Amino acid sequence: MARSVARVGIVANPAAGRDIRRLVAQASVFPIAEKRNMITRALSALGAVGVNEVLIMPDGAGLTHRIVRALRAPLPEGQVWPEVRFVDIEPGDTAADTLDAVRLMVDDGVGAIIVLGGDGTNRLVARAAGEVPLVSLSTGTNNVFPSVREATIAGLVAGLVASGKVTRAEACFRNKVLRLSVNGVPRDLALVDLCSSPELFIGSRALWRADGLDQLFVSFAEADAIGLSSIAGLVRPISRRAPFGLWLDLCPLERASRVIRAPIAPGIIVDVGVETVTTLTPGAQVPLRLKRGVVALDGEREVEFAPTDQVLVSLAEDGPFSVDIERTMIVAAQHGLFVRTGGSEISAASGAA
Amino acid sequence: MQLSKADLLKAYRMMKTIREFEERLHVEFATGEIPGFVHLYAGEEASAAGFCMHLDGRDRIASTHRGHGHSIAKGCDVHAMMAEIYGKKAGLCGGKGGSMHIADLDKGMLGANGIVGGGPPLICGAGLAAKMLKTGGVAIAFVGDGGFNQGTTAESLNLASVWRLPCLFVVENNGYAESTSSKWAVSCDDFTDRASAYNMPGISVDGHDFFAVYEAAGEAIKRARSGGGPSLIEVKINRYYGHFEGDAQTYRGPDEVKKLRETKDCLMLFRKRVEGATLIDAADMNKVDTEVLALIDDSVKKAKAAPKPTAADLLTDVYVSY
């Protein structure tokens, strides 16, 4: 697909990687300075593969300020950065910033969005990204959806896809998604796991205690995952591409048919009682057992519900698109995009395909 | 995090008392009857309440120049606080301290503090005492974003970490050190970035959300009580009034405060949450509102009518013989 301008969006959540799990566990810390460094490395890569313009979500937490300072400094020798534009939102330093910024990026025709955050940040981007594929880099706490990759490589693959040098068909895959509705109205989604708990309040958002967890739904479950989905992953691993998910009814240890020792947060490995395990097929609507409590989406408490609410969970196959970083670089290598022979140009570095 | 109905009403009363105390002072200060400076805490109530709801008689707090909220949350008598601010003999410090020096050691309130960054060294002492005497107590310093840039704070963070003291350093980041935006004056953008340099955990919480503060505070206090050492918690927050009463606030956007009151008022958010979850009836909270207004009204009337310190009081409580 030919594009006259190759445009890429960058969403970096300044708050990712600094929640209460630094206090109650030994979760890693991602300083804003490092997020700034990751963005500048991605900009170098985006420039190297011919991306013309990069749209960045502004923030009030200091990241924007850091990027502006980096843009004013002389570029390292031999580097060409794309034009950088901050999308036109008024940052309130809430989740709404991400939704608003991504909508504007999609309207402006970005060909890929680089996401710096954890599962929670990617969940927000996914809500607004439509068909635009995500290149997800881990800077959060429970990182199952995004991968721990070097930002330079993320910049290269985002640029290759946005400029059409590697096609979407070659580079992208579609994720499953868990959808939550309250009283018949779609409310939110989860990319990896959705869990109900009798806690009464969203509070500090993160869910790191196993006590009282009632039901767990997963779109996929990896045995080597961190977070709540690891409970399912250690019972029955399910790949991202499998056409179904899993649903577990949890219970106190003494009533459990099996007890799973699972790493539900960084540094927190606990025993969780499992009552039943059921395959979750796309389209099936499952009501929650609890009458009052909270729903955690990708490890963060997001929705409080009362006895008057009817809460339903379902699995859908029309989640966000992701760029497969490894596959994209293999395709680029197979096409010789980074190879110069004789007097030819490096084709990866040209403008949009 | 399960809170009983009694806990929820206690938290609401605490925040409402702070709010009405400050709103009334805003009005009364303009009459010229109150001596000295006042720095109002309105808008930040969920921070003081979220931490102090976990505290008991073993625990100590140190406050800032913006100290009314912490004092009320730690249990200082509202009548005696109001009398102190009016400079009356019935005040907590005999009317000789005023707003910026309110203290009540019997309640574990080590004092508001006119020195920016003055609280952290005090809580290192209180934390050391708790540790050596094995009281199980914790010590909390509330510090502003300006105070957190002071050398005293840096030294205290280091000392608390080296001695593994049961201390919490709470940065109430309201975005302005007096009139200087923290965006211009804080090297690291986010105070939690500094925690790892002192080998302690650091987290950020939304200071408009009582439940977020309460839960984070509970975990940090539990950690400190059990010998886990100090923590740094940044509470992202906003103040409704100027740095001091009379501040023209030319450094703030035209509708900044109006928007904050409409969308991020911690009391409004609290009511919405507990009513939505059908945990407390609106009538119960309306009753608290009425009682709090009566309390504040009475405290102002009595403070105005109360006698001032006499000349003989001038030299009392000034020197201590050891």
For position A2, what pLDDT does the model report? Answer: 44
- CA dist A6 and A106 (Å) reads 13
Instruction: Tell me the chain A residues in contact with residue B2 when contact means C-beta distances shorter than 8 Å.
Output: 199-200
In this complex, is the C-beta atom of B236 within 8 Å of any C-beta atom belonging to chain A? Answer: yes
In the numeric block, which tokens belong to residue A317?
């196959």
CA distance B222 to B36: 38
Check if B27 contacts A (Cβ < 8 Å). Answer: no
CA dihedral B137, B68, B207, B287 (to 10 degrees): 100
Task: For A84, list phi and psi in degrees, rounded to 5.
Answer: -115, 130
Rounded to 5 degrees, what are φ and ψ at A138? Answer: -80, 120
pLDDT of residue B317: 84
**Contact predicate B237/B44, CB 8 Å:** yes
- Please state, in angstroms and rounded to a whole number, the distance separating the CA atoms of residues A202 and A191: 19
Contact B189 A29 (CB under 8 A): no
Q: Which of B1, B255, B263 to mutate to test the interface with A (most CBs of A within 10 A)?
A: B1
Q: What is the DSSP letter of A223?
A: T
Q: Judged by CB atoms within 8 Å, which residues 45-64 of B form the interface with A?
A: none
Percentage of chain A modeled with pLDDT above 70: 97
The whole-number pLDDT of residue A353 equals 55
Sign of CA dihedral B283, B285, B288, B292: negative
DSSP state of B60: E
DSSP labels, A153-166: HHHHHHHHHHTTSS
Chain A environment of B276 (Cβ under 8 Å): 304, 306
Residues A176-206 pLDDT 10s? 999 999 999 999 999 999 999 998 888 878 8
Assigned token pair, B280? 């407390």
pLDDT score of B1 more than 70:
no
Q: How far apart are CA A57 and CA B153, in angstroms?
A: 33
| Residues of chain A in Cβ contact (below 8 Å) with chain B | 14-15, 18-20, 22-24, 29, 31-33, 60-63, 65-66, 93, 199-205, 292, 304, 306-308
Written as six digits, the tokens of A88 are 């036109």
Judged by DSSP in three states, B281 sits in coil
Residue reference for tokens 């809500």: A127
- Evaluate whether ipTM surpasses 0.90: no
> Can you give the pTM of this predicted structure?
0.86
- Structure confidence at residue A352 (pLDDT): 61
Which of B189, B201, B203 lies closest to A61 in CB terms? Answer: B189
Using the 8-state DSSP alphabet, how is residue A178 labeled? E
**Mean pLDDT across the stretch A82-111?**
94
Asked if B217 contacts B233 with a C-beta cutoff of 8 angstroms, the reply is yes
**Residue pointed to by tokens 């910049």:** A155
DSSP 8-state code for residue B109 = B
> Would you state the structure tokens that stand for residue A291, as one six-digit string?
């009458």
Share of chain B above pLDDT 70, in %: 100
Residue partners of B294: CB distance under 8 A and separation at least 6: none
Domain A177-316: assigned CATH number? 2.60.200.30
* Mean pLDDT confidence for B261-290: 93
How many angstroms separate the most distant Cα atoms in chain A? 73
pLDDT-based confidence at residue A1 (cuts at 50, 70, 90): very low
Which chain B residues are Cβ-neighbours of A15 within 8 angstroms? 204
Neighboring chain A residues of B183 at a CB cutoff of 8 Å: 60, 62, 65
Q: Kindly list the residues from chain B whose CB atom is less than 8 angstroms away from the CB atom of residue A307.
A: 278
Q: Is A349 helix (H, G, I), strand (E, B) or coil?
A: helix
Buried b (16+ CB within 10 A) or exposed e, A9-47: bbbbbbbbbbbbbbbbbebbbbbbbebbebbbbbbbbbb
CB < 8 Å to A204, chain B: 205, 211-212, 215-216
Residue boundaries of the structural domains of chain A: 7-175+320-350, 177-316
Q: Chain B: residue nearest A24 by CA?
A: B219
Interface contact A23-B203, CB threshold 8 A:
yes
Residues with Cβ within 8 Å of B67's Cβ and at least 6 positions away in sequence, in order, are: B39, B41, B99, B100, B102, B111, B112, B113
**A7-175+320-350: in CATH 3.40.50:** yes
Q: Which fold has domain B5-313?
A: Rossmann fold (3.40.50)
Listed in sequence order, the residues at least 6 apart from A41 whose beta carbon sits closer than 8 Å to its beta carbon are A150, A151, A152, A155
pLDDT at A101 over 90: yes
Cα B15 from Cα B72, distance rounded (Å): 9
pLDDT at A63: 86
Stretch B148-155: mean pLDDT = 96
Tally C-beta pairs within 8 A across A and B: 94
Backbone angles phi, psi at A314, to 5 degrees: -145, 160
- On average, the pLDDT of chain B sits at 95
